[in-house]
A and B are shown apart, each in its own frame.
Chain A
Amino acid sequence: MIIAEQKPLDEILAAIGDAKKILVLGCGACVTICFAGGAKEVGILASQIRIASSKAGKDVEVTEDTIERQCENEFFDRVKEKAAEADVVLSIACGVGVQTIIEVFPEKIVFAGLNTTFYGRPKEPGLFTEYCEGCGSCILNATGGICPIARCSKSLLNGPCGGSENGKCEVDPLNIECAWHLIHERLKSIGRLDLMEQVSPPKDWSTSSSGGVRRIVREDLREVKL
């Protein structure tokens, strides 16, 4: 899922500036699961804005809501009126959600309350780690199911490099596991160490953001042919 974290409150307050009516809008999908932008966080952030505004002597009305998913148009119907009444919508969904609001409510000023960080998962309670960077051509079948694009600090395809020590990465030995150490251990356990000796050629990055803005067309799902 998409992992995000809340921006510093000061940055959020600076963005909303002198807006009088603010709708804080959460999202029930990924950011709820990573405790960054669900109903609970909407409530906390709305309270923080109210407190900061009253401290600053500002008369601000903050409304709250959380929709099922901010990345799909249909879920916005329910908050149409609330959005219409607000001067600004402060979205605490991922970057996709923020941009969807601009398209659904083009007359609204919209601000982002989160920093969208990576594709990952909650590995332990309170610990979210990166597993995928959406490069568009998955190599997991050749690496024992561990992605070196996202999890090796150098995104090496023929690792490990000389900076691997005791299973850790030199970039941050306390917190980053060496992906190629993990790959080696994994391939060993499944009897495929031969894969470690296969020379990986330069990757085709045209499927990643390097190839330009991406899209997927599924003709079987389209109502109107392109």
Chain B
Amino acid sequence: MKSNSNLEKILESGKFAVTSELGPPKGPDVSAIEKKAAFLKGNVDAVNLTDNQTAIVRLSSIASAHILIELGLEPVMQMVCRDRNRIAMQSDLFGACALGVRNMLCLSGDHQCFGNHPTAKSVYDIDSIQLIATVKKMRDDGKVICGDDIEGAFEMFIGAAENPFADPFETRVPRLAKKVAAGVDFIQTQCIYDMNRFKEWMRGVRERGLDKKVHILAGLAPLKSAGMANYMNKKVAGVSVPEDIINRMKGVPKEQQAEEGIKICLEQIEEIKQIEGVHGVHIMAIEWEHKVREIVERAGLLPRPAA
């Protein structure tokens, strides 16, 4: 075991994993985390804590992860390369490990121009793939980047994201291969709407045997409305929503669109379960955490296994 985390045990034992996501508040309001965590507890195996997502200042992912542990949930601490240099990142990784965090997700991070501090200086001292290699070196060799020894055992289950929908498509499998070579343990994909393209990507992943080296969790973001489908398609770079899904959402009255979005999500989960090499789902119910239990339950994925 690399981390002894619940998520690692579930994935290593060959069970179908379910993770979800929690966006920390724009301030030290612990009750906001408690409220969202209550919706997720017992319904998923681990919960991602976003790291100032969309470059908006929020309660740190480390502190949020620790709060989640105290609430009895297992965190996946996200860490972006946008805001910290290698000194701060490694220091924060020590801190996270000391506080009991055993899963993390290595990300580049949304550019600050999209957030509430567009005049900020960007850091990007190391990138997401270098971060994966850094965490692996810390864990497996007990050393920080410069080669100095780490005091104490550093344990971490190393995750990263991958987007099968960004361009150029031909680079998407090689890029996963690069993350695998850097030492990633699990992948949570960008949210999937274009199932054909995801399946094509997975074919490429299997052809190179990458599915045997890394656990892939398929990312899903249930649609709340036809408006959201349109927004995701047009405004979010690297996400495409096929026309038939947009039309399906548009085709039902507004008050039934949320249910339609959940139905689509459930159909996607069924389809994903059949894809060889996919070991779980990552449900990103954006400000919709209270619907996660319903989705997981209706997908037949409850109760969650005890690790």
Contacts and interface: CB of A to CB of B under 8 A. Distances in A.
A210 B122 CA distance: 5
Contacts of B119: 202-206
A212 B112 CA distance: 10
Contacts of B121: 203, 205, 208, 210
Could you say which of A202, A208, A211, A212 has the most chain B C-beta atoms within 10 Å of its C-beta? A211
Contact of B113 (A202, A203, A212): A212
A205 B120 contact: yes
Interface in B104-131: 111-113, 118-122
Interface in B202-239: none
Nearest to B118: A206
Contacts of A208: 121
B120 A212 contact: no
A59 to B, nearest CB: 36
Contacts, number: 20
Q: What's the dominant secondary structure at chain A's contact region?
A: loop
A204 B112 CA distance: 12
Interface string B149-181: 000000000000000000000000000000000
Contacts of A203: 119, 121
A211 B121 CA distance: 8
Contacts of B113: 206, 211-212
Interface in A182-211: 202-206, 208, 210-211
A212 B121 CA distance: 11
Nearest to B122: A210
A207 to B, nearest CB: 9
Interface residues of A, number: 9
Contacts of A202: 119
Contacts of B120: 205, 210
Contacts of A205: 119-122
B111 A212 contact: yes
A208 B120 CA distance: 10
Interface in B26-41: none
A215 to B, nearest CB: 15
A206 B118 CA distance: 7
Contacts of B112: 210
A202 B121 CA distance: 10
Nearest to B112: A210
A199 to B, nearest CB: 17
B111 to A, nearest CB: 7
Could you say which of B112, B118, B119 has the most chain A C-beta atoms within 10 Å of its C-beta? B119
Interface string A11-44: 0000000000000000000000000000000000
A91 to B, nearest CB: 27
A212 B82 CA distance: 13
Nearest to A135: B121
A44 B188 CA distance: 53
Nearest to B123: A210
A70 to B, nearest CB: 28
Nearest to A206: B119
A203 B121 CA distance: 9
A192 B65 CA distance: 50
A210 B55 CA distance: 13
B3 to A, nearest CB: 34
A210 B82 CA distance: 10
A204 B117 CA distance: 9
Could you say which of A202, A204, A206, A212 has the most chain B C-beta atoms within 10 Å of its C-beta? A206
Interface in B74-121: 111-113, 118-121
Could you say which of A208, A210, A211, A212 has the most chain B C-beta atoms within 10 Å of its C-beta? A210
A210 B112 CA distance: 9
A203 B117 CA distance: 11
Nearest to A205: B121
A67 to B, nearest CB: 34
A19 B145 CA distance: 36
Nearest to A208: B121
A205 B111 CA distance: 13
A178 to B, nearest CB: 22
Given A203-B121, A210-B121, 8 more contacts: A202-B119, A205-B121, A205-B122, A206-B118, A210-B112, A211-B113, A212-B111, A212-B113
18 contacts: A202-B119, A203-B119, A204-B119, A205-B119, A205-B120, A205-B121, A205-B122, A206-B118, A206-B119, A208-B121, A210-B112, A210-B120, A210-B121, A210-B122, A211-B113, A211-B118, A212-B111, A212-B113
Interface of B: 111-113, 118-122
8 smallest CB-CB distances across A and B, nearest first, come from A204-B119, A205-B121, A210-B122, A210-B121, A206-B119, A206-B118, A205-B119, A205-B120
